[in-house]
Structure 1
């Protein structure tokens, strides 16, 4: 019964993550297309106006921001998708991180206990050797 519930919740999380990945992918692709279109429009406006009159700040700002947005989406788009995909399982990931931290702390405590036990054994052995008289 517990295994079935676990499989069901895992399947629901996987389906939810897939839906989120699909949506985030389409949103990022749409934003990339929009920024490319804005970049092209701003560039054409700059080229068209350059001989007629001085070019204002707005076309240059639009062009620069479009380049920055498009570059950011191309570079970080996959990372954004991964983050969006893992969002439904964030509590599980956090719980796993806390478990790993607790396991690390327990291992440190055991290591210190073993180290002190080993040190006491060595000290005991040295004390015995000091007390033994050579015959």
Structure 2
């Protein structure tokens, strides 16, 4: 599957830890950063795929599950540590659910918002990847 867990460098300190993201951590040029917060525990976010963009999801606070699907297999990845992020490359369907109280999801993206890069319907996604997959 076109995903990868990225370890965010951190410095442990008895006064509190610090994590940092520099260009060597993120495997693409950063074009957009946004975050999800105040999400009800029963809500679902995501529900789309990107044709070109990559995204790195980092749980800054709390926890949530990311369901990733490449059209052949599904995986559920629990994100609950702010020093571990999930890199989702292009053509992977994603849904976020099971948000804990106070959770914050930081998203670092390789592209600016471009509606044409989104596939928001799962059946259209399956058709797209089956038509565009390399033999």
TM-score category of the 2 structures, normalised to the smaller one: under 0.3
Larger CA Rg, structure 1 vs 2: 1
Q: How high is the TM-score relative to the length of structure 2? A: 0.19
Q: How high is the TM-score relative to the length of structure 1? A: 0.19
The structure with the greater share of residues assigned to strand is: 2
The structure with the greater share of residues assigned to helix is: 1
